[in-house]
C-alpha cells in the first residue's frame, strides 16, 4: 500500500514537472517572438542580471528579457498581464534597496538595450532619452551642447536615467539643484496591461488636474515601466571650487554648515565624512589624505564662483571658521584633478566599506536641527546594547541625509552580526521616527526597508498607496512584494 502511494506521488510530480516544462517552453517561445531570441536570457548569467547592489537576497528569476522599443515593452507587459507572470523592471542595477532583485521566478525586464539619446533641444533646454541611457552618458550629451544635467552621484557611471526616475534619485548636488523629481519634465510609461501613457507634453506649466507623471517618480517599478524620459537641463555652473575642512565634532560640521548659510556661500554641495571613512578610502583606493594628520570629522564644501564676490565670501567664511575654532585645518583644490581627488575621498566611502569591512548600511534623513541629538542618542544606544559595533556615518549632510553604517566587530560571526544589525535597525528607526525623520532618504524602500515603512508613513498613507497600485496594476504583476 505504502509503495503504491509512493508510485502515484512520483507520477503526479512528473506530470506537474512536465506541465511546468511545457508551460515554461511556451512562455519562452511567446516572449522570444516579442523581443527576438538573442534578447531573452535563460542561462546562468540570468542570476547576476536579476540583482542590484544589495547582497542580502538570492536571485531566482525566470528569465531576463531585453526589449528594444516601447512597443516591445507594451507587448511584453500585455502578455505577462494576461498570463499572470510577474515582472521586475531593471535599470542599471545600482539600487541599494533590493528593488530590482527577482527572487520569485519573475521575468526581469531590463531596459539596457533602450539606451539612445533621442533629442537635445537647446532652446527648450531639454533632453529626451530612452530609459536605459546611463546617467553619465546623459550628463555628457548635455555637456557637449554646453548644457548641464545636475543630478549626480557615485553610481552615475552605471545607473540608468529610467532607474533614477523610478527611485527619485538625489545625490551630491541636491542642496543646490534638488532631486530628480525637479528635473523630470515628461515620461513615457507602459502600464501593466500594455497601455502607453505619454505624460510628456513638455510644458513647464500644465495645471490640468492631477500630475500623474509625478506618481511614477519614486514608484520603484511598482506602477509602470518607464521607457522614455524628457529631462530638463540648465546652464552649467561656472568655476567650482572644492575645499575640505577638518573639524573635531559632528556638531561643528553642522555649525560650519550654518556658517555657509549666514555668509551666503554660493554652495553647490556640502558633504561630510569621518576619519574611519577616510582611512578606508585611503586603503582601498590609494587616494592621498590631503592633511598631514587625521581629524575626527571632515566637511567637503563645493561652491560656484560665478562672480568675484563668491570668492570673497568663501575667504571671509574660512577666516571666520578658523577664528571661531570651528575649522581645525583646511585645503582648497588647486586643479580639477585635485578637486576630483577630494570628491573621491567622499564618493569612494561606500565602495571602500563594502570592500574592506562587513557593513550594514542605512540611509536616513532628519531635520537639520535634530541631527546632533539623534547621533548622540544612536551612539549611546549602540554602545549600550550592541557592544563592539562601530557606527560610521557619512553623507549629504547639507540635506539632512546620513548614510549610517554599522561595522561588524572582528570577533563576531557574519550571521550573528546581521541578526543584531537588523535588531539595531529597529531601535534606530524608532529614534528616527521620534526625531521626525525618514527611514529612507534617497535609496527607496524596495525589499530592504519594506518591513519598516510604517516608521515613516501612517497606515492611512500606506493604504492609499496600495489603492493607487491596484488602479494601475490590478493583477499585481509589476514588482510584486516590493515597497508594500
Ligand atoms: C556607490 C553607490 C552610490 C550611490 N549613491 C546614491 C546617491 O548619492 N543618491 C541616490 O539617490 N542614490 C544613490 N545610489 C543608489 C542608486 O544608484 C540609485 O537608486 C539609482 O537611481 C538606481 O538606478 P538604477 O538604474 O541602477 O536602478 P535599478 O537598481 O536597476 O532599479 C531601482 C528601482 O527602480 C526600478 N526601475 C528601474 N528602471 C525602471 C524603469 N525603466 N521603469 C520602472 N521602474 C524601473 C526597479 O524595479 C527598482 O525598483 C548609490 C548606489 C551606489 C551603488
Give residues with Cβ within 8 angstroms of 392, minimum separation 6.
Answer: 274, 276, 277, 353, 359, 404, 405, 406, 407
CA 277 / ligand 1 centre spacing (Å):
23
CA 97 / ligand 1 centre spacing (Å):
9
HEC string for 342-406: HHHHHHCHHHHHHHHCCEEEEEEECCHHHHHHHHHHHHHHHHHHCCCCEEEEEECHHHCEEEEEE
pLDDT > 90: percent of the chain: 92
pLDDT confidence tier of residue 203, bands split at 50, 70 and 90 = confident
Specify whether the CB–CB gap between 283 and 356 falls below 8 A.
yes
Q: How far apart are CA 198 and CA 189, in angstroms?
A: 7
Give residue-wise pLDDT tens across range 269-310: 999 999 999 999 999 999 999 999 999 999 999 999 999 999
Minimal CA–CA distance to 150: which of 128, 123, 133, 174? 174
- Same domain membership, residue 226 and residue 297: no
CA 96 / ligand 1 centre spacing (Å):
7
CA 327 / ligand 1 centre spacing (Å):
35
Long-range contacts of 23-29 (CB under 8 A, 24+ apart): 24/62, 27/62, 27/83, 27/85, 28/63
Pocket lining: 90 vs ligand 1, CB cutoff 6 Å: yes
- Same domain membership, residue 361 and residue 289: no
Mean pLDDT value of segment 17-40: 87
Q: What is the CATH number of the domain that holds 436?
A: 3.30.70.2740
Query: Residue 122 CB: number of other CB atoms within 10 A?
Result: 12
Kindly state the DSSP code that residue 410 receives in the 8-state scheme. T
pLDDT score of 454? 97
CA 95 / ligand 1 centre spacing (Å):
4
Phi, psi (rounded to 5 degrees) for 145:
-100, 15
Mean pLDDT value of segment 26-55: 96
Residue 12 has pLDDT above 60, yes or no: no
* Torsion angle (degrees, nearest 10) of CA 407, 412, 414, 419: -80
Last residue of a domain, one of 350, 368, 383: 350
Specify whether the CB–CB gap between 110 and 163 falls below 8 A.
no
Containing 31, the helix (H) or strand (E) segment is: helix 2-35
* Complete edge-to-edge strand list for the sheet that includes strand 225-232: 117-121, 126-130, 225-232, 184-190, 196-199
With respect to residue 472, please indicate whether it lies within any of the assigned structural domains. no
Mean pLDDT value of segment 190-208: 90
Pocket lining: 132 vs ligand 1, CB cutoff 6 Å: no
With respect to residue 87, please indicate whether it lies within any of the assigned structural domains. yes
Minimal CA–CA distance to 90: which of 146, 42, 49? 49
- Same domain membership, residue 59 and residue 17: yes
CA 331 / ligand 1 centre spacing (Å):
33
Nearest CA to ligand 1 atom 45: 221
Give residue-wise pLDDT tens across range 169-197: 999 999 999 999 999 999 999 999 999 99
Per the structure, the count of domains in the chain is: 4
- Same domain membership, residue 194 and residue 253: no
- Same domain membership, residue 104 and residue 20: yes
Residue 9 has pLDDT above 70, yes or no: no
Kindly state the DSSP code that residue 220 receives in the 8-state scheme. T
Give residue-wise pLDDT tens across range 334-368: 999 999 999 999 999 999 999 999 999 999 999 99
Minimal CA–CA distance to 80: which of 476, 481, 482, 483? 476
Domain assignment of residue 68, given as a range = 2-110
- Same domain membership, residue 424 and residue 372: yes
Pocket lining: 346 vs ligand 1, CB cutoff 6 Å: no
Pocket lining: 365 vs ligand 1, CB cutoff 6 Å: no
With respect to residue 451, please indicate whether it lies within any of the assigned structural domains. no
Q: How far apart are CA 408 and CA 316, in angstroms?
A: 42
- Same domain membership, residue 87 and residue 16: yes
Q: What is the CATH number of the domain that holds 46?
A: 3.30.43.10
Pocket lining: 302 vs ligand 1, CB cutoff 6 Å: no
- Same domain membership, residue 307 and residue 254: yes
With respect to residue 393, please indicate whether it lies within any of the assigned structural domains. yes
Residue 10 has pLDDT above 70, yes or no: no
Report the largest interatomic distance among the alpha carbons of the chain, rounded to a whole angstrom. Answer: 94
Pocket lining: 390 vs ligand 1, CB cutoff 6 Å: no
Last residue of a domain, one of 232, 249, 271: 232
> Beta 87-90 vs 107-110: how paired, if at all?
parallel
Buried b vs exposed e over 144-169: b needs ≥16 C-beta within 10 Å?
eeebbbbbbbbbbeebbbbbbbbbbb
- Same domain membership, residue 98 and residue 14: yes
Specify whether the CB–CB gap between 174 and 61 falls below 8 A.
no
Pocket lining: 159 vs ligand 1, CB cutoff 6 Å: yes
Which of the listed residues 94, 400, 477 should we mutate to test ligand 1's pocket, taking the one with most ligand atoms within 8 A of CB? Answer: 94
Q: How far apart are CA 304 and CA 336, in angstroms?
A: 13
pLDDT confidence tier of residue 200, bands split at 50, 70 and 90 = confident
- Same domain membership, residue 175 and residue 123: yes
CA 71 / ligand 1 centre spacing (Å):
24
pLDDT score of 7? 44
Q: Which atom of ligand 1 is nearest to the CA of 446?
A: 49
Buried b vs exposed e over 448-465: b needs ≥16 C-beta within 10 Å?
bbeebbebbbeeeeeeeb
With respect to residue 331, please indicate whether it lies within any of the assigned structural domains. yes
Q: How far apart are CA 181 and CA 256, in angstroms?
A: 28
- Count CA atoms within 13 Å of residue 429 on its CB side: 20
With respect to residue 484, please indicate whether it lies within any of the assigned structural domains. no
With respect to residue 385, please indicate whether it lies within any of the assigned structural domains. yes
Last residue of a domain, one of 72, 90, 110: 110
With respect to residue 462, please indicate whether it lies within any of the assigned structural domains. no
Pocket lining: 166 vs ligand 1, CB cutoff 6 Å: yes
- Same domain membership, residue 184 and residue 123: yes
Reduced to 3 states, what is the DSSP secondary structure of residue 58?
A: coil
Least confident of 12-16, 273-277, 313-317: 12-16
C-alpha cell at 41: 536570457
- Same domain membership, residue 243 and residue 226: no
Strands (E), 169-288: 184-190, 196-199, 225-232, 239-247, 267-274
Q: What is the CATH number of the domain that holds 339?
A: 3.30.70.2190
CA 216 / ligand 1 centre spacing (Å):
14
Amino acid at each position: 500500500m505504502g509503495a503504491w502511494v509512493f508510485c502515484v506521488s512520483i507520477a503526479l510530480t512528473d506530470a506537474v514537472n512536465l506541465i511546468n516544462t511545457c508551460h515554461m517552453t511556451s512562455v519562452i517561445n511567446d516572449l522570444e517572438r516579442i523581443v527576438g531570441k538573442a534578447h531573452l536570457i535563460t542561462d546562468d548569467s540570468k542570476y547576476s542580471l536579476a540583482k542590484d547592489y544589495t547582497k542580502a537576497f538570492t536571485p531566482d528569476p525566470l528569465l531576463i528579457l531585453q526589449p528594444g522599443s516601447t512597443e516591445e515593452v507594451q507587448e511584453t507587459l500585455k502578455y505577462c498581464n494576461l498570463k499572470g507572470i510577474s515582472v521586475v523592471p531593471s535599470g542599471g542595477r545600482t539600487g541599494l534597496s533590493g528593488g530590482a532583485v527577482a527572487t520569485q521566478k519573475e521575468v526581469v525586464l531590463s531596459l539596457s538595450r533602450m539606451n539612445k539619446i533621442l533629442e537635445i533641444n537647446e532652446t527648450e533646454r531639454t533632453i529626451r532619452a530612452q530609459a536605459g541611457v546611463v546617467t553619465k552618458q546623459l550628463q555628457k550629451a548635455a555637456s557637449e551642447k554646453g548644457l548641464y544635467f545636475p543630478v549626480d552621484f557615485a553610481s552615475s557611471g552605471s545607473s540608468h536615467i529610467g532607474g533614477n526616475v523610478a527611485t527619485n534619485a538625489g545625490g551630491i548636488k541636491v542642496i543646490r539643484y534638488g532631486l530628480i523629481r525637479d528635473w523630470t519634465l515628461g515620461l513615457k510609461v507602459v502600464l501593466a496591461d500594455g497601455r502607453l501613457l505619454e505624460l510628456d507634453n513638455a510644458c513647464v506649466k500644465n495645471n490640468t488636474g492631477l500630475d500623474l507623471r509625478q506618481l511614477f517618480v519614486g514608484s520603484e517599478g511598482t506602477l509602470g515601466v518607464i521607457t522614455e524620459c524628457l529631462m530638463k537641463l540648465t546652464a552649467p555652473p561656472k568655476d567650482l571650487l572644492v575645499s575640505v575642512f577638518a573639524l573635531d565634532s559632528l556638531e561643528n560640521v553642522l555649525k560650519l554648515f550654518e556658517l555657509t548659510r549666514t555668509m551666503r556661500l554660493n554652495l553647490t554641495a556640502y558633504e561630510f565624512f569621518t576619519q574611519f571613512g577616510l582611512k578606508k578610502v585611503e586603503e582601498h583606493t590609494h587616494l592621498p589624505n590631503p592633511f598631514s594628520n587625521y581629524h575626527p570629522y571632515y566637511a567637503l564644501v563645493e561652491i560656484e564662483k560665478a562672480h568675484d564676490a563668491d570668492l570673497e565670501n568663501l575667504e571671509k567664511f574660512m577666516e571666520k571658521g578658523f577664528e571661531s575654532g570651528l575649522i581645525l585645518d583646511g585645503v582648497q583644490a588647486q586643479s580639477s584633478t585635485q578637486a576630483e581627488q577630494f570628491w573621491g575621498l567622499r564618493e569612494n566611502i561606500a565602495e571602500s566599506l563594502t570592500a574592506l569591512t562587513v557593513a550594514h548600511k542605512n540611509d536616513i534623513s532628519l531635520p537639520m536641527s535634530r541631527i546632533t541629538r539623534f547621533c548622540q542618542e544612536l551612539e549611546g544606544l549602540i554602545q549600550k546594547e550592541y557592544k563592539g559595533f562601530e557606527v560610521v556615518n557619512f553623507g549629504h549632510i547639507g540635506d539632512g541625509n546620513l548614510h549610517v553604517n554599522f561595522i561588524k566587530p572582528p570577533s563576531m560571526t557574519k550571521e550573528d552580526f546581521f541578526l543584531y544589525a537588523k535588531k539595531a535597525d529597529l531601535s534606530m528607526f524608532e529614534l528616527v521616527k521620534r526625531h521626525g525623520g525618514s527611514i529612507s532618504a534617497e535609496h527607496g524602500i524596495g525589499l530592504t526597508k519594506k518591513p519598516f515603512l510604517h516608521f515613516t508613513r501612517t497606515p492611512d498613507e500606506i493604504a492609499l498607496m496600495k489603492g493607487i497600485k491596484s488602479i494601475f496594476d490590478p493583477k499585481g504583476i509589476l514588482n510584486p512584494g516590493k515597497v508594500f
